[in-house]
């Protein structure tokens, strides 16, 4: 899963719209996403800063209501990791 996330980040440096189109299908409101979906968002935001800007409203608007759903420590840490990037 980490390798797949790293591949998406590498491809996202050049084709951010296609990568985000696919990753956002796994990021639905009200459903806690997989750990690596959030880590992929965070790593994409570092590797392609300007490419991620158009997606910030969508990501943050979906992520903020989910914060209360994160009960496990690894999910709490990845939410913090994503917001710190």
CA distance 77 to 74: 5
pLDDT for 62-77, tens place per residue?
988 888 888 888 888 8
pLDDT for 14: 95
Helix, strand, coil abundance in the chain, percent, nearest 5: 80, 0, 20
Which candidate, 44, 3, 2, 51, places its Cα nearest to that of 23? 44
What total number of domains does the chain contain? 1
pLDDT for 85: 65
pLDDT for 49-65, tens place per residue?
999 999 999 998 998 88
Contact call for residues 58 and 19 (beta carbons, < 8 A): no
67, containing H or E segment: none
Helix (H, G, I), strand (E, B) or coil at 8: helix
pTM greater than 0.75: yes
Its domain, for residue 61, covers 1-82
83 against 44, higher pLDDT: 44
pLDDT for 35: 92
């Amino acid at each position: 899963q980490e390798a797949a996330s790293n591949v998406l980040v590498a491809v996202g440096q050049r084709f951010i719209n296609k990568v985000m189109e696919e990753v956002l299908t796994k990021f639905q409101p009200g459903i806690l996403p997989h750990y690596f979906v959030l880590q992929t968002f965070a790593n994409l935001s570092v590797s392609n800063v300007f490419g991620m800007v158009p997606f910030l409203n969508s990501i943050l608007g979906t992520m903020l209501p989910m914060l209360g759903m994160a009960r496990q420590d690894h999910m709490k840490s990845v939410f913090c990791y994503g917001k710190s990037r």
